[in-house]
């Protein structure tokens, strides 16, 4: 059920479906992207992310469902609505013999209040290439130009479809800074990506799409029951350690196999506070292979995909 507050969100989607002939690319997608956040769309190849984004930005028609983007139905494609939306599509633009500066100036001219062209070119790290013909840029540089073109209109809502694919690590960080720059100006970002470090660095909330359906959505810190998953404190048994274990937190579950002790608990600090004096009292100054492990977003994500995709390829 959607509330009035949900409908006021920059992106509001209910029961979205898209068929390409016999292919159900999008089966059932509900989304709410809140104002000012970075919202990540995750999912394996072919899950339906790009199709969803294309419908949200008005370049593809949906089969059915309720879609509101900045309060309008994207299918109307109203010019004043389009001017408030920035898009960096998945595929790099085919640029002609114009220079980088000319390309960005050209796109800036479509918008009522664009950002200063030179600033945008600098922000995406193409300052040195501003006079270069766009078609001679490297793949990563062309991707930066895509980002410049997508943001030069100073949009309220930005859709970035795999914006950092093909970028070197430095350029990726620069792209992240650009997203943060827009977030700092109160703008909203929808980010499609396969990089989970990018999600952790930038996004507040995310949805995971598998086979055209949202299988999980919510705060990035809570995806897949992440917050509810216990930490694992582990170490290798070594000579000298007293038999048994000290008193551990009430919720602790202990597994011991092949000399490795694993204590699963929501209170790893308490567990450590018990284990360290116990080891010291045994005369063991270093517990071998001592680790505290919390599941990473990547582990959570892979579990989610596996449990929702029988026999599929991640
Ligand atoms: N124009 C089209 N005609 C027919 N089928 C299509 C078309 N575009 C996409 N599809 C199919 O729809 C499904 C969803 O594709 P989509 O590109 O939306 O996935 P995606 O999640 O963006 O994947 P990726 O992560 O690889 O970009 C796939 O099965 C794809 O083959």
The ipTM estimated for the assembled molecules is 0.96
pLDDT confidence tier of residue 313, bands split at 50, 70 and 90: very low
Q: For atom 16 of ligand 1, which residue has the closest CA?
A: 48
The token pair that represents 244 in the structure block = 């048994």
Each residue's pLDDT tens digit, 88-122: 888 777 777 899 999 999 999 988 899 999 999 99
Count helices and strands (H / E) in the chain.
10, 13
Collect all residues with Cβ–Cβ distance below 8 Å to 112 and sequence separation of at least 6: 83
Which residue's alpha carbon is nearest to atom 2 within ligand 1? 20
Residue with tokens 């026999």: 311
The most confident of the ranges 134-138, 144-148, 172-176, 250-254 is: 250-254
Which of 314 and 68 is assigned the larger pLDDT?
68
Is pLDDT at 314 greater than 60 in this prediction? no
Rounded to 10°, the helix 169-184/139-151 angle is 0
List Cα–Cα distances, 149 to 19, 91, 118, 128, 173, in angstroms: 30, 13, 12, 17, 18
Rounded CA-CA distance 229/232 in Å is 9
CA-proximal residue: ligand 1, atom 27 (nearest): 45
Sign of the torsion formed by the C-alpha atoms of 200, 202, 206 and 211: negative
Residue 62 Cα to ligand 1 midpoint, Å, equals 14
Mean model confidence pLDDT for the chain: 90
Q: Is 25 near ligand 1, meaning CB less than 6 Å away? A: yes
Instruction: Quick: pLDDT tens for 48-91.
Output: 999 999 999 999 999 999 999 999 999 998 888 999 999 988 87
Q: What is the dihedral of CA 284, 289, 295, 298, to 10 degrees?
A: 170
The alpha carbon of 125 is separated from its chain's Cα centroid by a whole number of angstroms, namely 22
Mean pLDDT confidence for 126-136: 93
Q: What are the structure tokens assigned to 306, written together?
A: 């596996």
Query: In 209-312, which ranges are continuous DSSP H helix?
Result: 268-281, 297-308
The span from the CA of 18 to the CA of 67, in Å, is 12
Q: How far is the CA of 90 from the centre of ligand 1 (A)?
A: 12
What pLDDT band is residue 312 in, cutting at 50, 70 and 90?
Answer: very low
Average pLDDT over residues 190-206: 94
Q: Which two tokens mark 44?
A: 């394996």
* Average pLDDT of span 249-274: 94
CA neighbours within 13 Å on the CB side: how many for 249? Answer: 18
* Dihedral sign of CA atoms 185, 103, 123, 174 in order: positive
Tokens matching residue 249: 């937190």
Q: Which residues pair with 191 in a beta bridge?
A: 40, 160
Q: Are 67 and 12 in contact (CB under 8 A)?
A: yes
Nearest CA to ligand 1 atom 26: 45
Distance 11 CA to ligand 1 centre (A): 21
């Amino acid at each position: 059920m959607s509330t009035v507050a949900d409908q006021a969100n920059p992106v509001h989607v209910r029961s979205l479906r898209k068929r390409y002939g016999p292919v159900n690319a999008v089966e059932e997608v509900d989304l709410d992207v809140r104002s000012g956040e970075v919202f990540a769309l995750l999912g394996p190849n072919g899950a339906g992310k790009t199709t969803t984004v294309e419908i949200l930005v008005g370049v593809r028609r949906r089969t059915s469902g309720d879609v509101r983007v900045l309060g309008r139905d994207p299918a109307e494609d109203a010019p004043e609505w389009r001017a408030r939306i920035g898009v960096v599509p998945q595929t790099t633009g085919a640029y002609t013999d114009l220079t980088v500066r000319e390309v960005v100036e050209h796109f800036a001219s479509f918008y009522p209040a664009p950002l200063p062209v030179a600033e945008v070119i600098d922000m995406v790290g193409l300052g040195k290439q501003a006079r270069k013909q766009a078609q001679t840029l490297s793949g990563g540089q062309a991707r930066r130009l895509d980002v410049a073109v997508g943001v030069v209109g100073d949009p309220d809502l930005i859709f970035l479809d795999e914006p950092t694919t093909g970028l070197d690590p430095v350029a990726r960080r620069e792209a992240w800074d650009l997203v943060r720059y827009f977030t700092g100006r109160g703008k909203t970002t929808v980010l499609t990506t396969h990089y989970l470090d990018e999600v952790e660095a930038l996004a507040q909330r995310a949805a995971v799409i598998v086979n055209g359906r949202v299988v999980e959505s919510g705060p990035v810190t809570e995806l897949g029951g992440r917050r509810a998953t216990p930490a694992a404190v582990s170490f290798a048994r070594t000579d000298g350690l007293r038999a048994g274990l000290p008193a551990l937190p009430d919720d602790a579950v202990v597994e011991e196999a092949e000399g490795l002790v694993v204590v699963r608990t929501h209170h790893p600090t308490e567990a450590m506070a018990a284990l360290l004096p116990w080891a010291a009292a045994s005369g063991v100054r270093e517990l071998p292979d001592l680790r505290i492990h919390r599941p990473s977003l990547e582990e959570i994500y892979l579990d989610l995909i596996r449990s929702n995709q029988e026999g599929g390829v991640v």
